[in-house]
Chain A
Amino acid sequence: MSATEALMRSWNLDVIYITVLLIAALLYLRGWLGLHRQRPERFGPVNLISFLLGELIIFIALCSPLEAASSMLLQAHMGQHILLMLIAPPLLWIGAPGLPLLWGLPPFVRKAGIGPFLASPGVRRIFRVLTHPIFTFFFLAAVLWTWHLPWLYQLSLTSPAWHQFEHACFFWAGMLFWYPVILPYPAQVRWSRWLVVPYLLLAALQNTIFSAIFCFSSVIFYPYYEQVPNAWAVKPLDDQAVAGGLMWIIGSLVMLAPVLIIVRGLVRPKGLTIRQPQAVPLKRLGLGQSHQLPVLQPSAQIGTLGGSMTDTSAIGSPTLRRKRRGPFDLLAVPVVGSALSSLVFRRCVQATFFALALLIMLDGWLGPQVASMNLAGALPWIHWRGFLVIALLIVGNLFCFGCPFVFVRTLGRKLLPARFNWPRVLRSKWLAVGLILLFLWAYEALSLWASPWWTAWIVLGYFIAALAIDGLFRGAAFCKYVCPIGQFQFVQSVVSPTEVRVRELDRCTSCTTYDCIKGTAQKNNQGCELHLFQPRKKSNLDCTFCMDCVRACPHDNIGILATTPGSTLLQDDYRSSIRRLSRRLDLALLALVLVFGAFANAAGMVGPVLEWQDQTAAAWGMSSRMAVVTVGVLASCLVIPVVLVGLATALSQITSINTTPMRLAVRMIFGLIPMGMAMWTCHFIFHFLTSMGTVVPITQRMARDVGLNLGEPAWILSCCQVPPDWLLPLEIFILAVGAVASSYLLYRLALRMTRSTRDAVLASLPWLLITALLYLVGIWTMLQPMEMRGTLDVPLL
C-alpha cells in the first residue's frame, strides 16, 4: 500500500466535530428556508451554498486525511490553517449566518435565551470592539505569528488538546478578520468601505513577510518534522518552503481578490439615492422590544460581498415579520401523520409487538436460560428499553401507541364486555406506586434481566392482568391505574417534545358534541378511554397516544403538536381527569419514586454497589442479597426521597412561600422529573448501545432451533462489546441536560410561589441541592465499572 493510499483511509470522524457541524447546518437550513420564503432576494441559494461550503471546508480541514498528514508534513498542516483561517470564514460569512441561525432556533430559545444577550448594550459593545478592523487585523496577525513560534508549534504537534486549541484560534481569528470585509447581512458599516482596501493590502503584506520567512529560511523551524519518518521523501527544508509558498500564494489570492471586487463596486457609477438607515427591530425576530439589530446603511451596501448591492428598501419592512404559524404538527406530516392517525396502522404495530411478545415468552420458557442467548433476556431489557427512551425523547409515548397488552384486551373485550366501574378507592396512582416499587425490587432481587424464564412469566402476567381488568371494568382502568409501564411512560412523557392536543382552542368552544371524549357512534370511533377532555388536557400525563380522540374529532382539530418539554409542569390550572397537579400527592409520589428509582436501578448494576451488597449480606449473616436488596430498594426509592423532600420543603418554608407545605412539596417534586428521565436515558442507552448486536446471534440461534438456517450464531456480537469513546461524554451530557432542566423548572416553580426573585432563589435552593446530589450520584454511577448485561461471558463462548 502506498503512503498516499494509506493516508487517504485516515479519516478522523470525530463525533463532536460532526455533531456540531450537522447541528449548525440543520439550524441554518431551517432558518434559511423560513427567511428565503419571505426575502428570497436577501437569503438566496448563494447564501445557503456558501454556508454549507464553509462547513464542508471545516470538515475537510479537521476530519479528512489532511489531519493525519499534518502530523508528518508541514505543508499539510499549513493547508489546514489556510482552510480554517482564510477559506472557511469568508464562505461562512457570505452565508449571512446570523439571522438564519437565529431563525432556526426554537422560538423559546431565541426569545428567552438568546434575545436578552443580543439586546444587551454590553454585548453589543464587546461585539463592536471584537469586529473593529484594527482589532481584527492585529488579532489575526498575533495568532498567526504566535502560533508559529517553534516551541508553541511543537507543543501543538505533540498534544492533541493544544492542537485543537490552535485550530480554534486560527478559525476564530479568521472569522473576526473577515467580518469587516464581508459585512454579512445585517451588519452595520461604521467606516468607509474604501478602508477595506488598505486593510486587506496590509494583511496581504504581513502574510507575504510571514510566508517569505518560511520559503527562504535555511533553518528548519520545527525539528519535529525532522524526527518523523517521511513517506514521501520530501526533505524537511523543502517541506517548509512549500508550506510557506502555499501560504504566500493562497493567502495573497484570497486577500487580494476581494480588494478588486470591492473597488469595482465602489467606483461603479450608480444612481443611488441616499436613504436614512433603517433598522430591523428585534421584536420582529421575537428577541425583544426596544432594541435593534445593526443595519446596513446605504453606503454599506456598495461593495459588500455578503448581500445584494442596492437593496435597502425591504429592510425592516413588515415582510420580514414571521407569518404566524401553528406549532409543528406531526399529524400534518405526509405519510407519518396519516399512519399515526390510522386505526389499521395502530393495530398492525400492536400485532407486531404482540408477535414479538409471543416469541419472547416461548423463548423464555423453552430457550437456553442464559440472558444473552435468549430473546427474553435481550429484547425486553436491552432493545425495548432503549427504543422506549429514544421514542420518548424524540416524539412521545409511542410504546403505549403500539402496546400489545391493549391489543389483546381489545380483542378480548368482544368476549368479556366490561360491566363494572373501577372502584372509586383505587382511582389514583397509589396502586401504581406500589407496583412500581414491587417491580424495582423484583428487578434487583430476582435478577429479572438475567432470567428469561421470569421475564416470560412477567409478560404473560401482563397479558392476563390487562385482559382481566379491562374485561371486567369499563374504560382503560388497566392503563390508567395499574400498568407500571404506562405510569412510567405518562410521567416521563411530560418532557417529550410533542403532545396530543387541540390545534385551535376556539373551535372547541363552539363544539357541542364532545366527540373527543364521548366518541362517535356513527363512525364507530370511541372517545378517550382515559377520560381526557382535549380542550382541558394539558401535558402528556395519562395520555396513551392511542389517537382515539384524533379519529373521533369531527373538526379535525387534534394533532400531535410540538411543545416545550416540561413547560406544562409549571402550570397548575385544572387538567381534565388529572385535576390540579398541586393536589395530586399520589402522582407526585409516583414521580418521586421514578426519579430516585432511576438512580437506584442504575446504581444496582455497578461493581462497588454489588460488592457493598455482598459485604452487608455477609455482615448480616445471610447467604443471599435478598434482604439487603429489599432494604436498599425501599430506602433509595421511598424513604430517602421522602426524607429529602420533607427537609427541602421545611427549608423552603423559611422564605415567604405563599402556599401550603404539602402543595409546595407536590409541585416541586414534578420539577425533578427531567433529572430522573436523564438517568433512565443514560442507563437504557448504555445497554442499548453496548449490547444491541445481541439480537443477531439470538435470532440465528432461534432460527436454527426451528430448523431454519440463518447461519451459525455470531456469538461474538454478544460478547466483550467495548463502550465507544463518546458514550461516557454523551451520558454525562444527558445527565447535565437533565440537571439543568430540573434546576430551571424548580426555580421557575419557586418563582410562581414566592413574591420576589430573592425568595424564589432561597426557596428553590434546597431543591437545587437535591438535583445536584442526584447529578453527582449519576456521574459517580457512570464512572464505575458496569456489569455488562446482555453480553456473553467469554468462558461461555
Chain B
Amino acid sequence: MNNLVIHCLSVVLLALIIKTEAHADLGTVRDSKVIEGYECTLFSAPEPFRAGPVDISVMVVNNKTGQALVDCQIDVSLIPTFEGPASLQAPATQEDAQNKLLQAALLELPEPGQWKVVARITGLPDLDQAIELSALVDAFAHLPRWRSIWLWLVLPAIALIVYVFNQICVSSRKQRRQRSSAEAK
C-alpha cells in the first residue's frame, strides 16, 4: 500500500515540474523561402495550434553573411478562411520573441477553424520587393483556461495525499514501536 502511494506521489511530483502552457520558441515550421540570399522561415506555436494565445514568429537569415536580421518590418496577419471572426494583424518584433534571433507577434486567436497565416517582410537590405510567407493552419478549439493551470489547481489535493501518507508513516511507526516494546517485555 505504502509503495503504491509513493509511486503515485512520485509521478505527481514529477509531473508538477512540467509546465503545461505552450510558449513559442520557434515552434512548428509553417513556410520557408530563400529569396536573394535571404532565408525566411515562418513558425507557429503552440503545437497543436489552438484558439487562444498564439505566437507567430519569423526568422530572417542572410545566408551570404550568416547574419540574423532582427529589425525587419514584419507584419503578421491571421485571416480566417471561414465566415465570422475578423482578421487579426500585428507587427512581429524582437521584443516579443523569447529567442532573440526571431521576431514574434503574440495574438489572441478568437475561434477554432482554418486560418491563413501571412507574414509580410519588408525593409530587407538591397531588396526592394517584399517577401511573403503564408500557410494554412487548422486551429483546434480553445483550451479551457483551467487546462493550462490544472497542476496548480490540484495542489491542495496533492498536499492532502502527502499528508495522508505522512500520517500513515506516523501511525505505522507508532505500531512498530508498540510491537517492539511488547516483544521486549
Q: Does A267 touch B at the CB level, under 8 Å?
A: no
The count of A-to-B residue pairs whose CB atoms sit within 8 angstroms is: 154
A117 touches B166 (CB 8 A): yes
B156 touches A736 (CB 8 A): yes
Interface residues of B, dominant DSSP: mixed
Q: Does A733 touch B at the CB level, under 8 Å?
A: yes
A160 touches B156 (CB 8 A): no
B32 touches A227 (CB 8 A): yes
Given contacts A3-B66, A229-B61, A230-B61, contact A160 B149 (CB under 8 A): no
What is the chain A residue whose CB lies nearest that of B23? A160
A165 touches B66 (CB 8 A): no
Q: Does B142 touch A at the CB level, under 8 Å?
A: no
Given A1-B69, A3-B68, A227-B41: 12 more A-B contacts, CB < 8 Å: A20-B17, A68-B101, A116-B173, A120-B169, A158-B28, A160-B25, A290-B177, A732-B149, A739-B156, A740-B159, A772-B156, A783-B145
Q: Complex formed: what's the CA distance from A168 to B39 in Å?
A: 34
Q: Complex formed: what's the CA distance from A772 to B155 in Å?
A: 12
Q: Of residues 127 to 147 in B, which have CB atoms within 8 Å of A's CB atoms? A: 145-146
B100 touches A164 (CB 8 A): no
Q: Complex formed: what's the CA distance from A67 to B23 in Å?
A: 13
Q: Of residues 157 to 185 in B, which have CB atoms within 8 Å of A's CB atoms? A: 159-160, 163, 165-167, 169-170, 172-173, 176-177, 180
B3 touches A2 (CB 8 A): no
* Choice from A3, A113, A291 contacting B61 with Cβ under 8 Å: A3
Given contacts A3-B61, A161-B18, contact A728 B66 (CB under 8 A): no
Chain B interface: which of A5-13, A214-222, A356-364?
A5-13
What is the chain B residue whose CB lies nearest that of A172? B14
Query: Can you offer 26 A-B residue contacts whose CB atoms are under 8 A?
Result: A1-B71, A3-B101, A6-B100, A68-B101, A113-B166, A116-B166, A116-B169, A119-B173, A120-B2, A120-B173, A159-B46, A160-B21, A161-B22, A168-B14, A227-B29, A228-B29, A229-B59, A231-B59, A233-B63, A290-B177, A291-B173, A732-B152, A732-B153, A736-B152, A736-B156, A757-B167
- Least CB distance from B148 to A in Å reads 9
Chain A neighbourhood of B87, CB < 8 A: none
Q: Complex formed: what's the CA distance from A3 to B167 in Å?
A: 56
Q: Complex formed: what's the CA distance from A732 to B18 in Å?
A: 17
- Least CB distance from A97 to B in Å reads 17
Q: Complex formed: what's the CA distance from A366 to B165 in Å?
A: 61
Q: Of residues 204 to 235 in A, which have CB atoms within 8 Å of B's CB atoms? A: 224, 227-233
B173 touches A10 (CB 8 A): no
What is the chain A residue whose CB lies nearest that of B66? A233
Q: Does A428 touch B at the CB level, under 8 Å?
A: no
Chain B neighbourhood of A779, CB < 8 A: 146, 153
Q: Of residues 6 to 46 in A, which have CB atoms within 8 Å of B's CB atoms? A: 6-7, 9-10, 12, 16, 20
Query: How many chain B residues touch A (Cβ–Cβ < 8 Å)?
Result: 56
- Least CB distance from A426 to B in Å reads 40
* Choice from B19, B163, B172 contacting A160 with Cβ under 8 Å: B19
Q: Complex formed: what's the CA distance from A739 to B180 in Å?
A: 38
Chain A neighbourhood of B160, CB < 8 A: 740, 743
A164 touches B17 (CB 8 A): yes
Q: Does A491 touch B at the CB level, under 8 Å?
A: no
B101 touches A164 (CB 8 A): no
Chain B neighbourhood of A511, CB < 8 A: none
Point out residues on A near B: beta carbons under 8 Å: 1-3, 6-7, 9-10, 12, 16, 20, 67-68, 71-72, 112-113, 116-117, 119-120, 122-123, 125-126, 158-161, 164-165, 168, 172, 224, 227-233, 288-291, 725, 728-729, 732-733, 736-737, 739-740, 743-744, 757, 772, 775, 779, 783
* Choice from A68, A120, A230 contacting B25 with Cβ under 8 Å: A68
Q: Complex formed: what's the CA distance from A68 to B21 in Å?
A: 17
Q: Does B70 touch A at the CB level, under 8 Å?
A: yes
Q: Of residues 43 to 97 in B, which have CB atoms within 8 Å of A's CB atoms? A: 46-47, 59, 61, 63, 66-71, 94
Q: Complex formed: what's the CA distance from A289 to B100 in Å?
A: 56
- Least CB distance from A459 to B in Å reads 38
Given contacts A117-B169, A733-B152, contact A72 B18 (CB under 8 A): no
Given contacts A3-B67, A9-B100, A783-B146, contact A159 B22 (CB under 8 A): yes
Q: Does B12 touch A at the CB level, under 8 Å?
A: no
B22 touches A160 (CB 8 A): yes
Q: Does B118 touch A at the CB level, under 8 Å?
A: no
What is the chain A residue whose CB lies nearest that of B67? A2
Q: Does B6 touch A at the CB level, under 8 Å?
A: yes
Chain A neighbourhood of B41, CB < 8 A: 227-229
Q: Complex formed: what's the CA distance from A795 to B152 in Å?
A: 36
What is the chain B residue whose CB lies nearest that of A233? B66
- Least CB distance from B63 to A in Å reads 7
Chain B neighbourhood of A757, CB < 8 A: 167
Q: Complex formed: what's the CA distance from A68 to B71 in Å?
A: 18
Q: Does B26 touch A at the CB level, under 8 Å?
A: yes
Q: Complex formed: what's the CA distance from A483 to B71 in Å?
A: 58
- Shortest beta-carbon contacts, A-B, top 8: A116-B169, A736-B155, A122-B2, A68-B99, A3-B68, A732-B152, A9-B100, A740-B159
Q: Complex formed: what's the CA distance from A123 to B155 in Å?
A: 22
Chain A neighbourhood of B22, CB < 8 A: 159-161
Given contacts A2-B67, A229-B39, A290-B177, contact A123 B6 (CB under 8 A): yes
